[in-house]
């Protein structure tokens, strides 16, 4: 055997290795040639470092599972205990008592021994810390007469961090600071750190927001060398590059985005054929032309993984010179693109597609609101003065929008018939005034224009995934696993209580889920069924193994349409360009990334989740800010979450979530019924369950804990 991969080594230890083996024994069993032995040794060390293998005494390797060991990430608790969230699917979370946590901290990657799995609570003990999760910490500086320390904002860290006098940077008591951990906790010593940056007073809303950003490890500024590289990129397109591409500058191509969007990475074109079919073009900014593998821009984009969007700011994956400059498909400007042309019949069934390196000049920049207003108008309304002026301004684009609507409705109909599931739950938008303060919280509008673009982007993503699966040895897919059996059983039992049943004769698929959601549509329990169904789903992620996308009911799917803000899309673009016959030899010979694709996919999944969690946390903080002056006011709402300590209520008009603590329910003792998602009174049997309508009063807002407390009224 010559080249060997991580997957092959794991398969070997799982199926063929009957005992722990030394490096020499692995070389012998796998018949590794002498020229490749150093690569194998390096790979074994890396897999041990990543926790995929465990290195035992005398340098022998084994799978953690063979030794009753589990690798995962520690989720700490302010009270000193924690949980191990295993990397391996199907392994239960392990409870870690304060003593069994040992020197591990929240966020650490560790190897644990599984000590008890009977009953409801699986328990474990930390054996080895594989990788520290916290390199820097944000918190509040405090001091006594004798020593200084920082109280971390992330309460799950569980340690105050002492700061030697020479490393305080002149911080004053009560100021928010950024700390580098210089010593991690040991059996006899606490952690220690040095202050890197003094941020300011934590009660300043801007500093509070900065603390959330820093706590989640989000990059704030681009390194100098990255900014310099971005500034050096030529804004003019070389004539030879223009000549080798398919020239679409004469075609009617346009963008549809939100009102406040600054970067436009996708545009569309549409035509109806004489036979009733359609030709759809999806044109995506060719970021891969400007960002080469291994460049400083590429390395920084890989580290960021994705752009992060907050109500009042964006932390972009790429510098503004690209994201809002030469890669943005602004109207009446020549831009390099990768285009996916799709041919559909009159029923919206795709007949063919092709991928081309192109150059375009967008004819119009339209907004979702504008397009919805056009597409939802009728002939009489379209004669109104405003629409008449818009129709004259848009010219051919006006007619194209109605053709696009026709095709989008067909695509949506076909997708739903194939079993694709849409969790169309209401979401909220934070409206800011000119000063950046919250003016209102409103329901996010999702109109025909949003759905039109969504259908076209999904279609293009499928085409690209199919092309790369066929022609590339390896690529990155966007995958979504089926629900695990335990959560599926919970969902089935819950739905059964409302009279819904799942088919028993075949394996559960997306059509079954869609059927339940459709039956519940418009009924009292709709939100409840949607909520429990969504909780039963696994998270979508990136992977080099194509297992399909359960929720969308796609056999083959990837992300291609947002290379300005997602790194996997950029990698996919590079692969497309390497396949296109028009790409030059130099581009063909380049690697698409400096890391193995499997590592890129894993890292992108982790960074994507970090971005989503950060966005949710900032929005939650902004909403808490919004409620500061509303203490004492009463609102209608519905129960959106139930736990042993109380239930969460979402206000009907404001989309703000708060807690009604069980201690405030003084009429009875309440018991948590996990399977029914409810709290039930022991004596009166009064029940609080998901989606129940309630009226509450705002009694407290704690910005430090980002929590709004409600009290039940009536």
Lowest mean pLDDT among 254-268, 522-536, 599-613: 522-536
How sure is the predictor about 12, in pLDDT bands with cuts at 50, 70 and 90?
A: confident
Long-range contacts of 183-186 (CB under 8 A, 24+ apart): 184/103, 184/105, 184/132, 185/103, 185/105, 185/159, 186/103
Per CATH, domain 627-712 is 2.40.50.140: yes
Lowest mean pLDDT among 86-95, 641-650, 654-663: 86-95
Residues near 425 by beta carbon (within 8 Å), at least 6 away in sequence? 527, 530, 531, 534
Q: What topology does CATH give the domain 68-131? A: OB fold (Dihydrolipoamide Acetyltransferase, E2P) (2.40.50)
For residue 149, pLDDT beyond 90: yes
Nearest to 658 by CA among 685, 610, 686, 626: 626
d(CA 684, CA 137): 48
Residues near 299 by beta carbon (within 8 Å), at least 6 away in sequence? 594
| pLDDT confidence of residue 604 | 95
d(CA 534, CA 520): 14
| pLDDT confidence of residue 589 | 43
Q: Which top CATH class is 136-215? A: mainly beta
Residues near 553 by beta carbon (within 8 Å), at least 6 away in sequence? 415, 418, 419, 420, 421, 509, 510, 511
| pLDDT confidence of residue 504 | 65
d(CA 310, CA 93): 32
On the question of a common fold for 136-215 and 627-712, the answer reads: yes
Nearest to 479 by CA among 556, 406, 419: 556
> Tokens 């992977």 correspond to what residue?
543
Region 666-678: what's the mean pLDDT? 87
Domain extents for the chain? 6-63, 68-131, 136-215, 224-473+558-617, 482-537, 627-712
Residues near 280 by beta carbon (within 8 Å), at least 6 away in sequence? 268, 269, 270, 341, 342, 344, 407, 456, 459
Quote the pTM value: 0.84
| pLDDT confidence of residue 382 | 54
Lowest mean pLDDT among 118-132, 178-192, 301-315, 326-340: 118-132
pLDDT tens digits, one per residue of 382-431? 557 777 888 888 899 999 999 999 999 999 999 999 989 887 677 788 88
Question: Where do the DSSP E strands lie in 428-512?
Answer: 428-432, 438-443, 477-479
Within 10 angstroms of residue 44's Cβ, the number of other Cβ atoms is 22
Region 426-440: what's the mean pLDDT? 80
Q: Which top CATH class is 6-63? A: mainly alpha
CA count, 13 A, side-chain hemisphere, 611: 22
Region 266-278: what's the mean pLDDT? 97
User: Which two three-digit tokens encode residue 624?
Assistant: 């808490």
| pLDDT confidence of residue 585 | 42
pLDDT tens digits, one per residue of 361-374? 999 999 999 999 99
d(CA 712, CA 277): 58
How sure is the predictor about 213, in pLDDT bands with cuts at 50, 70 and 90?
A: confident
- Is 681 within 8 Å of 667 (Cβ atoms)? yes
For residue 379, pLDDT beyond 90: no
| pLDDT confidence of residue 119 | 56
The DSSP secondary-structure symbol of 404 reads: H
Region 638-661: what's the mean pLDDT? 91
| pLDDT confidence of residue 583 | 45
pLDDT tens digits, one per residue of 688-703? 988 889 999 999 998 8
For residue 2, pLDDT beyond 60: no
| pLDDT confidence of residue 106 | 93
Percentage of residues of the chain with pLDDT beyond 90: 53
How sure is the predictor about 584, in pLDDT bands with cuts at 50, 70 and 90?
A: very low
The pairing of beta strand 693-702 with beta strand 707-712: antiparallel
pLDDT tens digits, one per residue of 537-560? 889 999 999 999 999 999 999 999
| pLDDT confidence of residue 588 | 45
Average pLDDT over the chain reads: 88
Identify any residues that bridge with 257 across adjacent strands, giving them in sequence order.
Answer: 367
pLDDT tens digits, one per residue of 485-543? 777 877 887 787 778 877 665 677 888 888 888 888 888 778 778 878 888 888 999 99
- Is 630 within 8 Å of 324 (Cβ atoms)? no
| pLDDT confidence of residue 505 | 56
Check residues 62 and 338 and name the one with the higher pLDDT.
Answer: 338
Residues near 72 by beta carbon (within 8 Å), at least 6 away in sequence? 51, 84, 85, 86, 87, 88, 91, 94, 109, 110, 112
| pLDDT confidence of residue 70 | 86
């Amino acid at each position: 055997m010559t080249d060997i991969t991580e997957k092959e080594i794991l398969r070997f230890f799982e199926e063929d290795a009957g005992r722990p083996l030394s490096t020499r024994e692995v070389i012998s069993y796998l018949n590794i040639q002498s020229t490749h032995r150093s690569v194998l040794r390096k790979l074994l060390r890396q897999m041990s470092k990543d926790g995929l293998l465990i290195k035992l005494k005398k340098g022998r390797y084994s799978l953690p599972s063979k030794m009753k060991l589990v690798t995962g990430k520690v989720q700490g608790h302010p009270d000193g205990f924690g949980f191990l969230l295993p990397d391996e699917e199907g392994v239960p979370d392990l409870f870690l008592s304060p003593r069994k946590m040992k020197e591990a901290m929240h966020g650490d990657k560790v190897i644990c021994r599984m000590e008890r799995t009977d009953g409801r609570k699986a328990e474990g003990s930390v054996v080895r810390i594989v990788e520290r999760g916290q390199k820097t910490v944000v918190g509040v500086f405090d001091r006594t007469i004798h020593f200084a320390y920082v109280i971390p904002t992330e309460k799950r860290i569980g340690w105050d961090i002492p700061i030697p006098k020479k490393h305080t940077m002149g911080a004053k008591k009560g100021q928010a600071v950024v700390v580098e951990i210089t010593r991690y906790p040991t059996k006899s010593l606490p952690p220690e750190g040095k202050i890197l940056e003094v941020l300011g007073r934590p009660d300043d809303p801007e500093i509070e927001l900065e603390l959330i950003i820093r706590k989640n490890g989000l990059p704030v500024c681009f390194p100098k060398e990255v900014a310099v590289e971005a500034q050096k990129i030529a804004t003019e397109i070389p004539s030879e590059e223009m000549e080798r591409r398919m020239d679409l500058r004469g075609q009617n191509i346009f963008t549809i985005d939100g009102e406040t969007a600054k970067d436009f990475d996708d545009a569309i074109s549409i035509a109806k054929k004489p036979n009733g079919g359609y030709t759809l073009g999806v044109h995506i900014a060719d970021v891969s032309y400007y960002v080469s593998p291994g460049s400083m821009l590429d390395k920084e984009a890989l580290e960021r993984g994705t752009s992060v969007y907050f109500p009042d700011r964006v932390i972009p994956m790429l510098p503004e010179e690209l994201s809002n400059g030469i890669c943005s498909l602004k109207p009446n400007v020549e831009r390099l693109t990768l285009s996916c042309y799709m041919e559909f019949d009159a029923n919206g069934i795709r007949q063919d597609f092709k991928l081309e390196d192109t150059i375009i000049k967008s004819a119009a920049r339209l907004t979702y609101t504008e397009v919805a207003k056009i597409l939802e108008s009728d002939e009489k309304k379209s004669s109104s003065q405003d629409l008449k002026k818009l129709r004259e301004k848009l010219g051919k684009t006006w007619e194209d929008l109605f053709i696009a609507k026709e095709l989008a409705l067909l695509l949506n109909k076909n997708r739903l018939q194939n079993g694709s599931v849409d969790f169309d739950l209401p979401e909220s938008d934070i409206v800011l005034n000119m000063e950046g303060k919250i003016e209102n919280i409103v329901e996010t509008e999702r109109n025909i224009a949003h759905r039109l673009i969504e259908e076209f982007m999904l279609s293009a993503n499928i085409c690209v995934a199919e092309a790369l699966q066929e022609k590339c040895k390896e690529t990155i897919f966007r995958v979504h696993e089926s629900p695990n059996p335990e959560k599926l059983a919970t969902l089935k039992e819950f739905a059964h209580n409302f009279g819904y049943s799942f088919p028993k004769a075949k394996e559960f698929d997306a059509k079954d889920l869609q059927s339940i959601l459709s039956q519940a549509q418009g009924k009292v329990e709709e939100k409840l069924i949607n909520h429990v169904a969504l909780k039963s789903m696994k998270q979508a992620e990136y992977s080099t193994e194509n297992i399909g996308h359960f929720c969308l009911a796609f056999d083959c799917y990837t992300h291609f349409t947002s290379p300005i803000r997602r790194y996997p899309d950029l990698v996919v673009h590079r692969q497309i360009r390497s396949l296109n016959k028009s790409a030059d030899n130099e581009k063909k010979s380049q690697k698409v990334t400096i890391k193995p694709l499997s590592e890129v996919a894993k890292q992108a999944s982790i960074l994507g989740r970090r971005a989503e969690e950060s966005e949710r946390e900032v929005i939650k903080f902004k909403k808490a800010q919004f409620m500061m002056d509303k203490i004492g006011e009463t609102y209608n709402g519905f129960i959106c979450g139930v736990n042993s300590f109380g239930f969460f209520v979402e206000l009907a008009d404001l989309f703000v979530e708060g807690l009604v603590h069980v201690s405030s329910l003084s009429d009875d003792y309440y018991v948590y019924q996990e399977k029914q998602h409810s709290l039930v009174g022991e004596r009166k049997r009064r029940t609080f369950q998901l989606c129940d309508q309630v009226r509450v009063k705002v009694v407290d807002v704690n910005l430090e804990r980002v929590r709004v407390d409600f009290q039940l009224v009536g």
